[in-house]
Amino acid sequence: MDISLFAQILVWGLYAGCIYILLAIGLNLIFGVMKVVNFAHGELLMLGAYAAFWLYAYSRLNPYLVLPLAMLLIALLGLSMERLGFRPIMGTGKLNEIFLSLGFMYLFQNLVAYLWSTNSRSVRSPYSSISIPLGAIKLPLDYLIIIIITVVFLIAFQLFMKQTNLGRAMRATSQNREAAALMGVNVERMDMLSFALGSALAASAGGLWLISGQLVDPYVGAIPAIKAFAVIIIGGLGSIPGAIIAGLTLGIAENLVPLLMRFFMELFGISMSFTAWKDTIAFFILIIVLVLRPTGIFGEQGE
Amino acid sequence: MKQERISIKGWIGICSLILALLIPFLVRINTYILTVLIIMFVFIIYASAWNLLTVSGQGSLGHAAFFGIGGYVSAIVANSLGLPLGATILLGGLFAAVIGLFIGFTCIRLREWFLAMVTFGFAVIAHTITAELSWITGGWDGIPAKKLISVTIPNYLLYEYYVMLVLTVAVLSIFYLILKSKMGLALEAIRENELEAKVMGINVAKYKLTAFAISAYFTGVAGALQIHHFGYITPEIYGVDISFWPIIYCISGGLFTIEGPILGTIFITFLDASLKSFGFTYERLILIGLILILEVIFLPRGLVSLPAKIKSWLKVS
């Protein structure tokens, strides 16, 4: 067990964490403004990846360049989901909202399977063979680009929320919907905007996921969605800094824990791989956090 | 007035039971139709079990986990110990109920969103764990399961049909008694307003946990019945669509009622089977997803509420 292995895990964790953060922040935004958890958020990631794939396949541009267009397309889709689906049932109970988002999930999965078959898709990034030597480890250039893009998005998002009138109106809506409406904020427009922004962020996560060499099929959204749920529960519903810390922690933990488990089992002379268990870690963290604190670690008030 | 309406419902129930008993003689016996009907009975049990949990306000998105656990436990015990299927199916349900209690312990303090996330995650995780424990579960390939009624018996599907019919009626009677009992009222009170229910002296935690255990139990039984009908089990039993089916059945029929899940299951099963016979694959799943979305928006009380709705439309116009 040497130090470079841990550094390598740190790099993987940072990269995976970025994807989870992008996904979780969108979920958090929608929850903050509308008090709705969109269970089809993982499907927006999947659709974002498909949009990036087809735009790349037709244009043959650098895959990073088609990302903004893919985000725009999915933002429009999210906007229509809000307008046609969630708005008519606002206030009729949380169960209805849960079932509606489940309906969207099922619809999107099967629609994609119908249109483009269930074959896995992948894109080869032009930088896939380049990696930057960092001491004993190698940092793939794609990972670096993804980390930079995520940081840029986070800063832009934060600036938008804090510095612009629109962002302030959104924050006002999420703090107190009635009061914001009385102050002249068009809260329904804020709902649409939050869905569009959240969907665009999910699409960016999907696009980056695809470009970094992951395989994408119509059912790929469920696992990242659970991880994003874990991230927002650990980080507290509605908390952006919480989501960033929790996302990075989850990204690192799910790469580190299987390795530690392997070393632990080797102490008893059993050699066994735990990499397939990676995806279960988010769920166990989720359960443990919810048992200890039903409102999440950074969450102040439970919803 | 109220007495009369109950008796109308009662007559419909009796007529449909007689119809169910006679169906194999009315239509030409066809393996395909019988299989569809047998699976429909399994899903009526499954949807009703899911509905019971929802009556208490706990909407689970991962009931496939209990469905699959019941199936796997029953198949594994039957294969390794050679117990009769009657015992292993009950054992599968029991195991699912124990797991359900554990999940319930985590969930009872949670609000709807968290509960939905935990149950949704649990089904995906159950999928991974089952696939990884390949020395017991056969991994991705799955394991064979014994048939409910031996294939060597002539007309075995017909026997199976009646076994399933009897089981379904028995389970539905249990759900009917539960929903009409003090417990059913308590669960509805908890769903409408948990705090008020608590103030009225209802032991919220106890009732929510009991609902979780009963629901998981019958879901496990339904899962075991299904895999003993098909004769094999693979981790696909944990798929999102298996979690999705009881939800679409209950919503299209009518949530929180005893007849809703039955009606919804029959309606969607026939829709699904007829679309399938026209050769549609993903189209029918897309259509069913659309039906769920439209029904949540326009008919949230399901088909059961349709007569009252039509009546009110007629009055207006």
φ, ψ of residue A118 to 5 degrees: the values are -95, 10
Each residue's pLDDT tens digit in chain B (317 positions)? Answer: 445 556 777 788 888 888 888 887 777 767 888 899 999 999 999 999 999 999 998 989 899 999 999 999 999 999 999 888 999 999 999 999 999 999 998 888 787 788 888 898 898 889 888 988 888 888 888 999 988 888 888 888 888 999 999 999 999 999 999 999 999 999 999 998 888 999 989 999 999 999 999 999 999 999 999 999 999 999 999 988 898 899 999 999 998 988 899 999 999 999 998 898 888 888 988 998 999 999 999 988 888 888 888 888 888 76
Task: Residue window 298-317, chain B: list those with CB within 8 Å of chain A.
Answer: 300
Taking contacts as CB-CB distances below 8 angstroms, the residues of chain B near A104 are 289, 293
Q: Tell whether B59 lies on the interface with A, counting CB pairs under 8 A.
A: yes
CA distance B135 to chain A (A): 14
Say if residues B68 and B239 touch (Cβ distance below 8 Å).
no
pLDDT digit string (tens) for A178-209? 999 999 999 999 999 999 999 999 999 999 99
Q: Tell whether B283 lies on the interface with A, counting CB pairs under 8 A.
A: yes
Nearest to B117 by CA among A214, A237, A140: A237
DSSP assignment of B215-280 equals HHHHHHHHHHHHHHHHTEE-GGGG-HHHHHHHHHHHHHH-TTSSHHHHHHHHHHHHHHHHHHHTT-
**Buried-state track B91-115, b at ≥16 Cβ within 10 A, e below 16:** bbbbbbbebbeebbebbbbbebbbb
Taking contacts as CB-CB distances below 8 angstroms, the residues of chain B near A279 are 124-125, 128
The model's pTM is 0.89
Taking contacts as CB-CB distances below 8 angstroms, the residues of chain B near A286 are 117-118, 121
Taking contacts as CB-CB distances below 8 angstroms, the residues of chain B near A110 are 282, 285-286, 289
ipTM of the complex: 0.86
Taking contacts as CB-CB distances below 8 angstroms, the residues of chain B near A106 are 240-241, 244, 285, 288-289, 292
Residue B22 exposed, middle or buried by CB count within 10 Å (0-12, 13-18, 19+): exposed
Q: What is the mean pLDDT of residues A231-241?
A: 83
CB atoms A107 and B125 under 8 Å: no
How much of chain A exceeds pLDDT 90, in percent? 52
Task: Residue window 119-148, chain B: list those with CB within 8 Å of chain A.
Answer: 120-122, 124-125, 128-129, 131-132
Choice among A64-68, A84-88, B77-81, B128-132 with the minimum mean pLDDT: B128-132
CA distance B40 to chain A (A): 20
Which of B112, B114, B285 has its CB closest to that of A290?
A: B114
pLDDT digit string (tens) for A100-141? 998 999 999 999 999 999 899 998 888 888 888 877 778 889
Residue of B nearest to A290 (CA): B106
- Give pLDDT, residue A151: 95
Which of A85, A223, A280 has its CB closest to that of B129?
A: A280
Residue of B nearest to A116 (CA): B282
- What the block records as the tokens of B116 is 């939905």
Q: Tell whether B192 lies on the interface with A, counting CB pairs under 8 A.
A: no
Vertex B164: Cα angle to B159 and B166 (nearest 5) = 95
Residues β-bridged to residue A216:
A121
CA distance A303 to chain B (A): 7
DSSP tag of B29: P
SS (H, E, C) B131-194: HHCHHHHCHHHCEECCCCCCCCCCCHHHHHHHHHHHHHHHHHHHHHHHHHCHHHHHHHHHHHCH
DSSP assignment of A161-208 equals HHHSHHHHHHHHHHH-HHHHHHTT--HHHHHHHHHHHHHHHHHHHHHH
